[in-house]
Amino acid sequence: TDSARHRRAGAAQVAIVSSDRWAIVNELRDAPEPSLQEVLDKLEPCDLVLVEGYKTAPIPKIEARRREGHAGRALAEDDSNVIAVASDYEIADNTLPRFALDDISAIADFILKTVGSRR
């Protein structure tokens, strides 16, 4: 796309705009990745923020495990902030709630029950 070409050519920011949505992509270049708090500070007020990444952040997490994924240690083994596990295979761990990775309704219900909803 043109936006990707502009980024590759060195643009520090690219705006992507359509009749349905818009986004601004910032290139970090050699700058450090922003902290989770810095990203949250840029969001408008909302009821819930779902975060992908920031594995070491001290926030409640649902660990996603994929059979084809990383073969290392499970995040839940070392991180007490992991509150559930969603996987595409059976796991033996009975200490945390477990969900099928594609059971979106059950995961959404768990999130609402766990963190609450203002509605």
- pLDDT confidence of residue 47: 85
- pLDDT confidence of residue 41: 94
- pLDDT confidence of residue 117: 58
Whole-number Å distance between alpha carbons of 82 and 54: 13
Can you list the residues of the chain whose pLDDT is less than 50?
none
- pLDDT confidence of residue 62: 96
Whole-number Å distance between alpha carbons of 101 and 83: 15
- pLDDT confidence of residue 39: 93
- pLDDT confidence of residue 16: 87
